[in-house]
Structure 1
Amino acid sequence: MRHVLVLGGTTEGRALAAELVPAGHRVTSSLAGRVARPRLPAGEVRIGGFGGPAGLADWLRAEDVDAVVDATHPFAAGISRNAALAAADTDVPLLVLRRPGFTRVEGDRWLPVPSLAAAADLVPRHGERVFLTTGRQSVAAFAHLDGLHFVARSVDPPEPPLPPSFEVLLDRGPFTVEGEEALLRRHRIDVVVTKDSGGAATAAKLTAARELRLPVIIVERPPVPEGVPVVPDVPGALRWLEQLR
């Protein structure tokens, strides 16, 4: 039996825990605690940070962790960086389980940008009504924009600062193309702003935007820490863990 630390409350993290626990492994899934009612994975669960890379390294030693799988959200760059530093400090093998990004197809009107700040700079050039799906902690990047109306969707309510003209839709995917098209029409959306998070649960908005010929400002992913192996799916993570024997 191995002790595997799975970082992140993503769909991939839950699926990996669901494979490892019945196989007899001890699995601890670490959730950031940013969602009020997270979907809990199989096995043990801890919520909250470790206290930076040094705190995580101490926890890995104290709990006799055999391997770490970073299955956090593709934009959780801080914990990914901390995990890489802690794994290097403790010689615990580390893998990044990262779903592929969205795939651009003919007809998409994507406007890639490197950051939320760059997205905020670009938004006013593409209309007055904005559908914002960058996560509740990202809304503050758009709070200074006057003259625009933002419709933001998130699992939990965003915290201030918020744009002057703002409404929130509390919802959790998966979403359908038909539902997303209806939402974009109902709110008379001119431009969509999102992150390249990948995954099927939220991809429908991109198809809907393509069908309606709407521009999509898409924030590019931060890079994975250098030297850390990456797999795109749970079977790849299981093969990596098997090879550690």
Structure 2
Amino acid sequence: MTVLLLAGTGEAKRIAWALTDTGINVIASLAGATRSPEPLPIPTRTGGFGGEDGFRAYLEDQNISAVLDATHPFADQITNRTARICAELGLPYAQLVRPPWIAETGDDWTIIDVPEDAAAYIPANAVVFLATGRQTLTQYANLEGRRVLCRLIDPPTAPFPFEGGEFVLGRPPFSPRSEAQLFKALGVTHIVVKNAGGDGGRAKLDAARALKIPVLLLKRPEMPSATPLSNVQEAVAWVMSLGTRQ
């Protein structure tokens, strides 16, 4: 049995470690968004599959028995494609779905449906910390004129796509204290973030609460129907259960 683990998250890393000594052959796949990701303890491929036909061919060529999707909650294109092709091929497919963040006392959150909605809540003189990833920057082009800060793990290979923007380098993990120090140093007045859930990105929200910074929280995209797994333990148990289905 060979399981394909669609990785790129902290949960995927923990799943990979948990499955190393189980006797199950697991192959991880990384999209390649980060130039120097931390190595995983299992065989790992990096990069795209070459579209739907390429992904279908990979599953068949590698004799993949099942697919565990532990990608980012906003990787909806990858997830939708994977669910559809696994259904076509009759492969077991499960998705790790982090519980979304829920506002707590003291949070100043506004939920937005699409990136373009953020500008309506951010004044012209604002300093915006845009924590949605460099791939999304063009979707926030209507923030032009404001000071917009986007954090990257790797140095940028292209200039900011619109006037007023600049990149800030930083590699996780981050703590609420370090995030608060950064926001104060940069004079951040507003934060835009995807509702990714999980512990990894929570620090910026805790810092925003402490500093009373308004947050624009982007709603998650719709995902396909799949076997839902809410944590690493459930994901590992699902993989282990596959052996009883053979």
TM-score normalised over the length of structure 1: 0.92
Could you tell me whether the CA contact under 8 Å between 1:96 and 1:231 is conserved in 2? yes
* Kept after mapping to 2: 8 A contact 1:109/1:210: yes
Hey, what's the Cα distance between the residues in 1 that align with 2:99 and 2:182?
A: 26
Instruction: Verify: 1:231 aligned to 2:229, yes or no.
Output: yes
Tell me, in whole angstroms, the C-alpha distance in 1 between the residues paired with 2:174 and 2:21: 30
**How far apart are residue 98 of structure 1 and its match?**
2.3
Q: Which range moved further: 197-206 or 140-149?
A: 140-149
- The answer to whether the 8 A contact 2:124-2:145 is kept is no
In 1, the alpha carbon distance for the partners of 2:144 and 2:34 equals 29
Q: Match of 2:41, as an amino acid? A: A
Q: Residue 122 and residue 76 in structure 1: after superposition, are their counterparts in 2 closer, same or farther (change >3 A)?
A: same
Look up the match of 1:221.
220
**1:29-178 to 2 correspondence within 5 Å?**
29-119=28-118, 121-125=119-123, 128-158=126-156, 159-160=158-159, 162-178=161-177
Q: Distance in 2 between matches of 1:39 and 1:230?
A: 26
**3-state secondary structure, aligned to 1:143:** helix
Measured after TM superposition, the shift of residue 112 of structure 1 is: 0.7
Structure 2 residue matching 1:17: 3-state secondary structure: helix
Tell me the distance in 2 between the aligned counterparts of 1:176 and 1:214. 16
The root-mean-square deviation of aligned C-alpha atoms, in Å, is 1.7
Partner residue of 2:182? 183
The farther-off stretch of 166-175 and 138-147 is 138-147
Shift of 1:49: 1.3
Cα deviation, residue 127, structure 1:
5.1
Q: What TM-score does the superposition give when structure 2 sets the normalisation length? A: 0.92
Q: Measure the CA separation in 2 of the matches of 1:204 and 1:47.
A: 28
Distance 1:35 1:123, change over 3 A: farther
Q: Given that residues 116 and 219 in structure 1 are in contact (C-alpha distance below 8 angstroms), is that contact kept between their aligned partners in structure 2? A: yes
Deviations 1:60-111 (A, max 9, x none): 1111111100111111111101101110111110000122222210111111
For 1:122 and 1:75, the matched residues in 2 are separated by: 22
Confirm or deny: 8 A CA contact 1:127 1:190 kept in the other structure.
no
Distance in 1 separating the partners of 2:162 and 2:121: 13
Aligned length: 242
Report the 3-state secondary structure (helix = DSSP H, G, I; strand = E; otherwise coil) of the residue aligned with 2:87: helix
Report the CA distance between 1:243 and its aligned residue: 2.8
User: Is the Cα–Cα contact under 8 Å of residues 102 and 197 in structure 1 kept in the other structure?
Assistant: yes
Percent of residue pairs bearing the same amino acid type: 35
Matched position secondary structure for 2:15: helix
Q: Secondary structure at the match of 1:194?
A: strand
